[in-house]
């Protein structure tokens, strides 16, 4: 072929590609919702029908995009009343309203499409006129902020509320009440910069026992449109704990360090962890008034695997043993008992201590070995957690994704400022919701195994 012909052919192809790209850009600009492709983490949220969904994520993890997309999809699907709520008016205009406008169907001039939007004049400086967006199908989307007077948030029945970032508790309750008579839904998308606040206590900790609450986490790594180098450059200006919050969306006490700082859900939580019927069950107990907890472990080669857990509220040791027997009464591999040494000192109404009850009730599972013995004392907490963190660093501790209480404890347990003492985070209206107990059972199990077999490592517990 003549070189001139090649050059001419290449030019035609480039021109055709440019026209295709221009047409694609025009279509995306006109119908951005139709071209939105959620990440797997976003898709999981969109497919969840829970009444209250808490999405905690790092900065630039795609959580606000998710909120805007679902809000508009609901408004366009059928007639409904929707509120979009954020912290203050400026954030509403610059973030929530800007995201909604980004995904709003538009005409050739870039204005809201009048075939779908009945009222929605918009400017980047002031957002939507009168803080409202009305659709041809009758849907109404109103924008509110927590700095408004509370009376402005009263009186309206709602089908859907989207909170972006952390609202005040009273504002959340007020909006939640507005959804009751319509069986409405609530979505919270936030980066938990306030630490272990009311959202952590009232929603995150309760999600494993309340079927109406679900929790999802989006990390910045889930967003394919953000470069890792750019993220690290921005995060470098923050301290370690705030970096974890802004990157991974983790709930952390911003005034104290994480106890299990080496735990990372992405590395250490597995869906495919199952109980092996031929191996012993290591049952590790923590005894409390009103909340009984036991984690179930198996040692597989050099791995320590939490395959199950029991978290019983308003219960006692006898009831906990009944639950264990219901699930594992025919387990052929036997059991090994670990736990809080104070269980030998605590007398129950029957006159037996906790370990007397465990030995009597679980004697049906053979063989039974007691790793914690009368007269034992719990090893110093700092030494126990140092050993656990080292094993997490080595990826030798794995946790089943179904062990929600333990995962919450590993993510949220923090040291009291200036002391080697765990902070007991709880709901002031319901003291059952403590975060430290499940993590304690991991400490007991690992330190017992280390002392009994030496298979973990040697460590100075002082």
pLDDT in tens, the chain (462 residues): 555 555 556 667 777 788 887 777 777 777 899 999 999 999 999 999 999 999 999 888 999 999 999 999 999 999 999 999 999 999 999 999 999 999 999 998 899 999 999 999 999 999 999 999 999 999 999 999 988 866 677 768 999 999 999 999 999 999 999 999 999 999 999 999 888 788 988 898 888 778 999 999 998 887 888 877 887 877 777 777 778 788 888 887 666 678 898 898 889 999 889 999 999 999 999 988 778 999 999 999 889 999 999 998 888 999 999 999 999 999 999 999 999 988 887 564 667 899 999 999 999 898 999 988 776 778 888 888 889 999 999 999 999 999 988 998 898 888 876 666 777 665 545 545 567 889 999 999 998 888 765 555 433 333
H helices of 193-336, where?
Answer: 198-199, 228-235, 240-248, 265-268, 317-328
What local confidence, expressed as pLDDT, does residue 418 receive?
Answer: 61
Encode 311-343: b = buried (16+ Cβ within 10 Å), e = exposed.
bbeebbbbebbeebeeebeebebebbbbbbbeb
SS3 of 74, please? helix
Residue at 135 is within a domain: yes
Token pair listed for 68:
């805007």
Token pair listed for 2:
């003549």
Q: How many CA atoms lie within 13 A of 100 on its CB side?
A: 33
Q: How many CA atoms lie within 13 A of 9 on its CB side?
A: 6
One domain, residues 227 and 306: no
What local confidence, expressed as pLDDT, does residue 8 receive?
Answer: 58
**Residue 251 near residue 244 (C-beta atoms within 8 A):** no
Distance CA 331, CA 134 (A): 61
One domain, residues 393 and 446: yes
One domain, residues 54 and 104: yes
One domain, residues 233 and 325: no
Instruction: Output the domain CATH number for residue 360.
Output: 3.30.420.280
Distance CA 118, CA 223 (A): 33
Residue at 445 is within a domain: yes
What local confidence, expressed as pLDDT, does residue 246 receive?
Answer: 86
One domain, residues 203 and 83: yes
**Residue 406 near residue 273 (C-beta atoms within 8 A):** no
One domain, residues 94 and 232: yes
Listed residues 190, 207, 242: the one ending a domain: 242
Phi/psi of residue 131, nearest 5 degrees: 60, 35
User: Cβ atoms within 10 A of the Cβ of 256, count?
Assistant: 20
One domain, residues 86 and 124: yes
Residue at 259 is within a domain: no
Task: Tally the domains of the chain.
Answer: 2
User: Domain range spanning residue 307?
Assistant: 268-453
One domain, residues 100 and 136: yes
Residue at 11 is within a domain: no
One domain, residues 44 and 103: yes
Token pair listed for 355:
């370990």
Residue at 462 is within a domain: no
């Amino acid at each position: 072929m003549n070189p001139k012909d090649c050059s001419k052919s290449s030019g035609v192809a480039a021109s055709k590609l440019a026209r295709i790209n221009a047409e694609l850009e025009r279509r995306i600009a006109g119908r951005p919702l139709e071209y939105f492709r959620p990440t797997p983490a976003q898709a999981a949220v969109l497919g969840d029908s829970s009444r209250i969904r808490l999405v905690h994520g790092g900065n630039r993890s795609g959580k606000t995009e998710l909120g805007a997309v679902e809000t508009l999809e609901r408004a366009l699907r059928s007639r409904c009343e929707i509120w979009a709520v954020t912290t203050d008016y400026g954030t509403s205009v610059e973030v929530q309203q800007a995201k909604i406008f980004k995904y709003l169907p538009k005409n050739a001039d870039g204005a809201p499409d009048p075939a779908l939007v009945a009222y929605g004049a918009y400017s980047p400086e002031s957002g939507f006129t009168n803080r409202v967006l009305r659709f041809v199908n009758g849907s109404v989307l109103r924008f509110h902020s927590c700095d408004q007077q509370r009376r402005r948030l009263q009186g309206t029945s709602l089908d859907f509320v989207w909170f972006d970032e952390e609202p005040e508790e009273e504002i959340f309750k007020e909006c939640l009440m507005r959804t009751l008579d319509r069986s409405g839904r609530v979505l919270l998308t936030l980066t938990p910069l306030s630490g272990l606040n009311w959202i952590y206590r009232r929603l995150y900790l309760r999600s494993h026992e309340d079927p109406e609450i679900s929790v999802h986490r989006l990390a910045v790594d889930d967003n394919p449109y953000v470069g890792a180098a750019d993220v690290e450059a921005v995060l470098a200006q923050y301290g370690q704990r705030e970096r974890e919050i802004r990157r991974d969306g983790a709930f952390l006490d911003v005034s104290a360090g994480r106890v299990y700082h080496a735990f990372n859900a992405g590395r250490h939580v597995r869906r495919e962890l199952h109980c092996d019927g031929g191996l012993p069950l290591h049952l590790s107990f923590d005894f409390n008034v009103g909340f009984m907890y036991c984690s179930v472990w198996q040692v597989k080669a050099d791995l320590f695997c939490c395959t199950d857990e029991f978290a019983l509220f308003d219960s006692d040791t006898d009831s906990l043993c009944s639950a264990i027997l219901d699930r594992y009464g025919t387990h052929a591999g036997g059991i090994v008992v670990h736990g809080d040494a104070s269980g030998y000192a605590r007398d129950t109404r029957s006159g037996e201590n906790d370990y007397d009850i465990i030995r009597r009730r679980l004697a049906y599972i053979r063989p039974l070995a007691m790793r914690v013995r009368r007269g034992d004392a719990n090893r110093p907490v700092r030494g126990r957690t140092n050993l656990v963190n080292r094993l997490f660093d080595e990826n030798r501790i794995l946790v089943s994704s179904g062990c929600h209480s333990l995962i919450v404890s590993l993510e949220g347990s923090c040291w009291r400022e200036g002391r080697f003492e765990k902070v007991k985070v709880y709901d002031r209206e319901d003291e059952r919701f403590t975060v430290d107990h499940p993590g304690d059972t991991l400490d007991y199990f690992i330190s017992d195994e280390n002392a009994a077999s030496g298979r973990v490592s040697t460590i100075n517990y002082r």
